[in-house]
Amino acid sequence: MSPSISSFHSFHVQQVCFAFVILLHVITPTPLIATAIKSTGGNETDRLALLAFKQKIMYDPQGVVSSWNDSFHFCEWDGVTCGRLHSRVTVIDVGSRGLVGTLSPYVGNLSFLRGLRLYNNTFKGEIPPELGRLFRLRELRLGNNSFEGGIPATLSRCFELKHIGVAYNNLIGKIPTELSSLSKLTYLAVHVNNLTGELSSFIGNLSSLKTLSASCNLLEGAIPDALGQLRNLTELGLGENSLSGMVPFSIYNLSTLTVLSLSDNQLHGSLQPGIGMMLPHLQIFEISRNFFTGVLPLSISNLSELITLQVGFNNFTGKITINFGGLKNIRRILLYYNKLGSGEPDEMNFMSSLVNCSNLEYLELTANLLRGILPNSIGNLSSKLVVLLVDQNFLFGTLPSTICNLENLRTLWLYYNTFRGIIPTAIGNLKKLQRLALNTNDFSGKIPNSIGNLSLLLGLYLGNNRLEGTIPSSLGNCQKLLTIELFENNLSGTIPIQIFRLSSLSIELSLSQNHLSGTLPSEVDNLINLATLDISINNLSGDIPNGLSKCTSLEFLHMEGNSFHGSIPASLRALKGLRVFDLSRNNITGQIPEFLGQIALTSLNLSFNNFEGEVPITGVFTNASVISVAGNSRICGGISELKLPRCAIKKSKEVKMSLAHILIISVASILVGITLISSFVFCWVKKKRKAPSTGSQMEEQFLRVSYQRLLKATNGFSPDNLIGAGSFGYVYKGIFDQEGSTVAVKVFNLLRHGASKSFMAECETLRNIRHRNLLKIITSCSSVDFQGNDFRALVYEFMPNGSLERLTDTFQSSSNGIRGTIGYTAPEYGLGSEISTDGDVYSYGICLLEIMTGRRPTDGMFRDGINLHSLARMAIPDNVMEILDQVLLNNNEEEVDATENMTRQCQNRANKMKEFMVSVVKIGVACSMESPQERMDISNVVHELESVRDKLLQH
Ligand SMILES: *[C@@H]1O[C@H](CO)[C@@H](O)[C@H](O)[C@H]1NC(C)=O
Ligand SMILES: *[C@@H]1O[C@H](CO)[C@@H](O)[C@H](O)[C@H]1NC(C)=O
Ligand SMILES: *[C@@H]1O[C@H](CO)[C@@H](O)[C@H](O)[C@H]1NC(C)=O
Ligand SMILES: *[C@@H]1O[C@H](CO)[C@@H](O)[C@H](O)[C@H]1NC(C)=O
């Protein structure tokens, strides 16, 4: 298995927009003379317009517009600038002030307005067409808000406009052709909106245009030839649209271009051989994810100002002939996923020219057709290099130990090549390494102990090589590891106990197909976050440890092809998330446990063991195509497709009940109980009081958040914001602009089985959430990302100090930081666990307690850690009567006095009734334990209830 490349590259894709936007910020506003003359005159229209502007602001955290009052002339109001002579408003500048509201159309009355700067706020609603009346307007900066609707065509009347910035909004419709009249426009930024239609040739009329940024929209059609008329254009960003056709030759006439960003479109054709001469000032050249063909022109060597060369995911072919030596500023060379390579012996020579690129940070050659060796000079690459990817090529030879000089490397991928020889000991020098992928090569020798120095390592991929010796115990020092893959090597000896203490492991631990011996130690119980454990095809022996039942995040458990013996521990019933369980080719004895039928397994292989007795016939056992029990000579029964012999003595058939049955029976029990209570109440209680209905309505309002906003908040899901990962996906730290609040964004990996379901369950549950100690969900996002994939995320309050990582990685419900009742739903659902019968048991328990106490779990009295469950638990056994619903009985003194002349029989029944009540409350408490493991088993619940009922009915 290879490390997931897609997440990595999508990071760069997202940079298409961002890299560009950053450059745009360099442009500074036209300086306007700020004046603040005290004036008694002033124009009433302006004053009214400003007050109307103020009135539409709903939230003003910095008190900007709330200070706008008649104590001061409006020319002195915060953010307002007036003309020196006429005292009319010339500029409104309230950018980045956290404002939330809409933009009043009255602004169209500020006829002297030259600058309207509202960027980085949360203005919603339409951009008022009245702005078209501002014939003196030069600067319109509305970027990074939540404006909706179209770009008003009336702006075409603002002939003085030089700057239109409406990027990062929710605008729809076309870019209005009317704007072609704006002959003074130098800057037009509409990126990150939902604009549609073609980029029409009117753009060619905007003869002053220097910047055109329209990336991240839904534009289609061809790039208009007329763009070539914009002789002043320096920045052209059209990435992440649906543009098609070839790049018009006229673009190459734009000799002043510094940014040309066309990534993520459907463009085809080849690059002009003379590009390096024609566009000599290019700094950012991004054309990834298109259908470009042909060679990378040699003339790229002339682009001496180039910072980013991003041509990944195209069909470029041939030898890399570029001499990078003259590209002194280059930081990112991203050539991945092409067909570059010629097979000529000198085709890796371009590497030596890279030595001169002292600013290089990213070198990504993944998935090309490169043949050759990595030269020793690789150690002389820029010390700033953080990512070096040469995986999925045809590279061979040994790994030069000089590579270990690149001490800022965070990611080193060499996988899927044919490198041979040892892994250099000096690898331990790469102290910043987070991902090391050497898998599927011909590496031999030992795994160096020094690997334990890589304390920041998240993923170690060494599978499918010829590594030998033992697994270094020093790996236990790498306490951030999420994944270890060592499969298909010649490793021997026991598995160091230190590996099992890495509770960070949450994605995969794969040691399969080695010669490992010894037992699976009980310390495996630390791997509480792990989704995949594969120790198959080794020489492991001993019992299956009970501790495995603590690994409740497990989805894939492969133990086949070893010599495990003993029976399957009953405690493994806790592994509710298990999907694939392979225990074949061991020496396991005993019965095939019934509980396997209650786990939603999609594949179960128990073949070639020593199982005996009856094969269950529920759950996974009903589908012969996903189970295998072959090669167990002493088993019988099962579904007929298994063609097993009948079992000689049929055991008394266990009553198998669906939850519905159980509920019916238990409700019936309760009803029986209540009926008896009622008759009892007849002789004991006279007055009947209704419990006060305090159940306050709890309706959390979940505002949906857009993908774009999450993208913004997390810096484009930047790896720097990554704070955790687990089998469900990733968690990023994010900052929401307008509130400035720090959040945790949990992004579900929908390719993983069950993630979508888990998202839905989590949403549903958290809709009803009511507990102060539980992390508060702020919002959710169910959308489509820029690649058209489904995208699901939940946004939580951010909890620093790693407690959040427990929420994301750990779904074990005994975790310390998180406890509590969420209405009727099990706490673990709130933490992302899948729907399970344990959760139903919880809900049932809460229902039971509600019936008994007459209080809803959402009752206002429950706060500060007290909830329905803890209330009931504390009352057991002596104070149970105190918490019972007054409807059922009334135990105040007065009433007790009134019962003095009760009959003896009545007293007996009263005692019985108390017993009954205590038992039922006990069951309610046992069912609603916070931790699923501690909860009562549903079959015991039924048993208990029946015996309680029977006892009661004996008289
Ligand atoms: C007007 O705003 C200023 C500044 O916030 C404040 O000090 C003053 O009290 C306000 N005056 C009135 C009449 O509200
Ligand atoms: C200003 O604009 C608004 C809305 O566009 C309009 O209703 C109002 O009459 C205009 N004139 C004055 C003097 O406020
Ligand atoms: C958007 O505005 C927020 C403040 O509201 C700011 O923190 C953020 O950097 C801005 N984003 C961009 C892309 O300018
Ligand atoms: C399997 O276990 C049985 C007893 O439990 C033992 O007799 C037998 O030798 C074992 N077979 C192997 C291959 O280990």
Helix, strand or coil, per DSSP, at residue 62: coil
Question: Which tokens go with 421?
Answer: 């020889």
Highest mean pLDDT among 342-346, 439-443, 771-775: 439-443
* Cα→Cα distances 753→325, 572, 603, 748, 812, Å: 47, 21, 13, 11, 19
User: Which of 68-77, 291-300, 322-331, 879-888 is predicted least confidently?
Assistant: 879-888
- Local confidence band at 461 (pLDDT 50, 70, 90 cut-offs): very high
More confidently predicted of 756 and 315 = 315
pLDDT tops 50 at residue 585? yes
Distance of CA 645 to the CA centre of its chain: 49
pLDDT tops 50 at residue 582? yes
- Local confidence band at 939 (pLDDT 50, 70, 90 cut-offs): confident
Q: Is 69 in the pocket of ligand 1 (CB under 6 A)?
A: yes
| Pocket of ligand 3, beta carbon within 6 A | 21, 96, 120, 144, 168, 712, 737-738
d(CA 108, CA 487): 69
State residue 943's pLDDT score: 78
Question: From ligand 4's centre to the CA of 564, what distance in Å?
Answer: 10
Closest residue CA from atom 6 of ligand 2: 106
Q: Of 839, 808, 830, 828, nearest to 531 (Cα)? A: 808
Q: Which residues contact 359 (CB under 8 A, 6 or more apart)?
A: 328, 329, 330, 331, 382, 384
Category of 275 on φ-ψ map: left (φ > 0), alpha (ψ -120 to 50) or beta: alpha
Average pLDDT in the chain: 82
pLDDT tops 80 at residue 600? yes
Question: Which tokens go with 552?
Answer: 């409740």
- Local confidence band at 881 (pLDDT 50, 70, 90 cut-offs): confident
* Cα radius of gyration (the chain): 35
Q: How far is the first Cα of the chain from the last one, in angstroms, to the nearest whole number? A: 67
Pocket test for ligand 3, best of 147, 712, 742 (most atoms within 8 A of CB): 712
Number of helices followed by number of strands (H, E) in the chain? 16, 54
Please provide the size of the chain in residues.
Answer: 955
Query: How large is the greatest C-alpha to C-alpha distance in the chain, in angstroms?
Result: 111
State residue 815's pLDDT score: 27
* Cα→Cα distances 388→181, 309, 351, 385, Å: 48, 15, 12, 7
Pocket test for ligand 2, best of 88, 109, 127 (most atoms within 8 A of CB): 109
Residue 508, CB half-sphere, CA atoms under 13 Å: how many? 19
pLDDT tops 90 at residue 170? yes
d(CA 748, CA 734): 15
Closest residue CA from atom 4 of ligand 3: 737
Closest residue CA from atom 8 of ligand 1: 71
Q: Is 111 in the pocket of ligand 2 (CB under 6 A)?
A: no
Q: Which DSSP letter does residue 284 get?
A: E
Q: Is 112 in the pocket of ligand 2 (CB under 6 A)?
A: no
More confidently predicted of 685 and 628 = 628
More confidently predicted of 941 and 489 = 489
User: For residues 854 and 691, is the Cβ–Cβ distance under 8 A?
Assistant: yes
Closest residue CA from atom 3 of ligand 3: 737
User: Which of 61-65, 246-250, 358-362, 762-766 is predicted least confidently?
Assistant: 762-766
Question: From ligand 4's centre to the CA of 562, what distance in Å?
Answer: 12
Distance of CA 393 to the CA centre of its chain: 30
Closest residue CA from atom 7 of ligand 3: 737
State residue 909's pLDDT score: 61
Pocket test for ligand 3, best of 737, 739, 741, 742 (most atoms within 8 A of CB): 737
Helix, strand or coil, per DSSP, at residue 588: strand
Question: From ligand 4's centre to the CA of 541, what distance in Å?
Answer: 11
Question: From ligand 4's centre to the CA of 597, what distance in Å?
Answer: 27
- Local confidence band at 685 (pLDDT 50, 70, 90 cut-offs): very low
Specify burial of residue 461 (Cβ count, 10 A radius: 0-12, 13-18, 19+).
buried
User: For residues 118 and 139, is the Cβ–Cβ distance under 8 A?
Assistant: no
Q: Of 572, 535, 580, nearest to 552 (Cα)? A: 572
Q: Which residues contact 563 (CB under 8 A, 6 or more apart)?
A: 539, 540, 541, 586, 587
d(CA 58, CA 79): 17
Which backbone phi and psi does 387 adopt, to 5 degrees? -130, 125
Q: Which DSSP letter does residue 311 get?
A: -
Question: Which tokens go with 14?
Answer: 């997202």
pLDDT tops 50 at residue 3? no
User: Which of 116-120, 449-453, 571-575, 951-955 is predicted least confidently?
Assistant: 951-955
Question: From ligand 1's centre to the CA of 77, what distance in Å?
Answer: 11
Q: Is 525 in the pocket of ligand 2 (CB under 6 A)?
A: no
Average pLDDT over residues 33-54: 69
- Measured from the Cα of 45, ligand 2's closest atom is 13
Average pLDDT over residues 555-584: 96
Category of 397 on φ-ψ map: left (φ > 0), alpha (ψ -120 to 50) or beta: left
> 3-state SS of 312-361?
CCCEEEECCCCCHHHCCCCCEEECCCCEEECCCCCCCCHHHHHCCCCCCC
d(CA 816, CA 799): 14
Q: Which amino acid is at 178?
A: E
- Local confidence band at 712 (pLDDT 50, 70, 90 cut-offs): confident
Question: From ligand 1's centre to the CA of 117, what distance in Å?
Answer: 24
Question: From ligand 2's centre to the CA of 55, what distance in Å?
Answer: 14
What domains lie within the chain, and their CATH numbers?
1-26+677-810 (3.30.200.20), 520-642 (3.80.10.10), 817-954 (1.10.510.10)
Of the ligands numbered here, which is closest to the C-alpha atom of 714? Answer: 3
Question: From ligand 2's centre to the CA of 50, what distance in Å?
Answer: 11
Contacts 24+ apart (CB under 8 A), 352-356: 352/377, 353/322, 353/323, 353/324, 353/325, 354/324, 354/381, 355/380, 355/381, 356/324, 356/325, 356/326, 356/328
State residue 760's pLDDT score: 54
Q: Of 881, 851, 889, nearest to 868 (Cα)? A: 851
- Local confidence band at 674 (pLDDT 50, 70, 90 cut-offs): very low
User: For residues 841 and 923, is the Cβ–Cβ distance under 8 A?
Assistant: no
- Tokens 């976050």 correspond to what residue? 529
- Our CA angle for 783, 784, 785, nearest 5°, is 120
Q: Return the number of other C-beta atoms located less than 10 Å from residue 866's C-beta.
A: 12
The partner residues of 380 in beta bridges, in order of sequence, read none
Closest residue CA from atom 3 of ligand 1: 67
Q: Which residues contact 254 (CB under 8 A, 6 or more apart)?
A: 227, 228, 230, 231, 233, 236, 279
Q: Is 72 in the pocket of ligand 1 (CB under 6 A)?
A: no
Closest residue CA from atom 8 of ligand 4: 587
Closest residue CA from atom 11 of ligand 4: 587
Pocket test for ligand 4, best of 587, 589, 632 (most atoms within 8 A of CB): 587
Average pLDDT over residues 932-944: 79
Q: Of 384, 321, 383, nearest to 351 (Cα)? A: 321
Closest residue CA from atom 11 of ligand 1: 71
Average pLDDT over residues 441-458: 97
User: Which of 5-9, 140-144, 160-164 is predicted least confidently?
Assistant: 5-9
Q: At what angle do helices 904-927 and 938-953 cross, to 10 degrees?
A: 180
Q: Which amino acid is at 545?
A: P
Average pLDDT over residues 884-897: 49
Q: Which amino acid is at 895?
A: E
Q: Is 106 in the pocket of ligand 2 (CB under 6 A)?
A: yes
Pocket test for ligand 1, best of 67, 72, 76, 77 (most atoms within 8 A of CB): 67
- Local confidence band at 106 (pLDDT 50, 70, 90 cut-offs): very high
Percent of the chain whose predicted confidence (pLDDT) is above 90? 62
- Measured from the Cα of 541, ligand 4's closest atom is 14
Specify burial of residue 878 (Cβ count, 10 A radius: 0-12, 13-18, 19+).
exposed
Distance of CA 875 to the CA centre of its chain: 42
Residue 746 annotated as part of some ligand binding site = yes
Q: Which residues contact 259 (CB under 8 A, 6 or more apart)?
A: 20, 23, 234, 235, 236, 237, 282, 283, 284
Strands 742-748 and 729-735: antiparallel
User: For residues 501 and 524, is the Cβ–Cβ distance under 8 A?
Assistant: no
- Local confidence band at 294 (pLDDT 50, 70, 90 cut-offs): very high
Closest residue CA from atom 13 of ligand 2: 45
**pTM metric for this prediction:** 0.67
pLDDT tops 80 at residue 668? no
Q: At what angle do helices 904-927 and 868-875 cross, to 10 degrees?
A: 130
User: For residues 869 and 771, is the Cβ–Cβ distance under 8 A?
Assistant: no
Pocket test for ligand 4, best of 564, 565, 612, 634 (most atoms within 8 A of CB): 565
The partner residues of 858 in beta bridges, in order of sequence, read none
Helix, strand or coil, per DSSP, at residue 221: strand
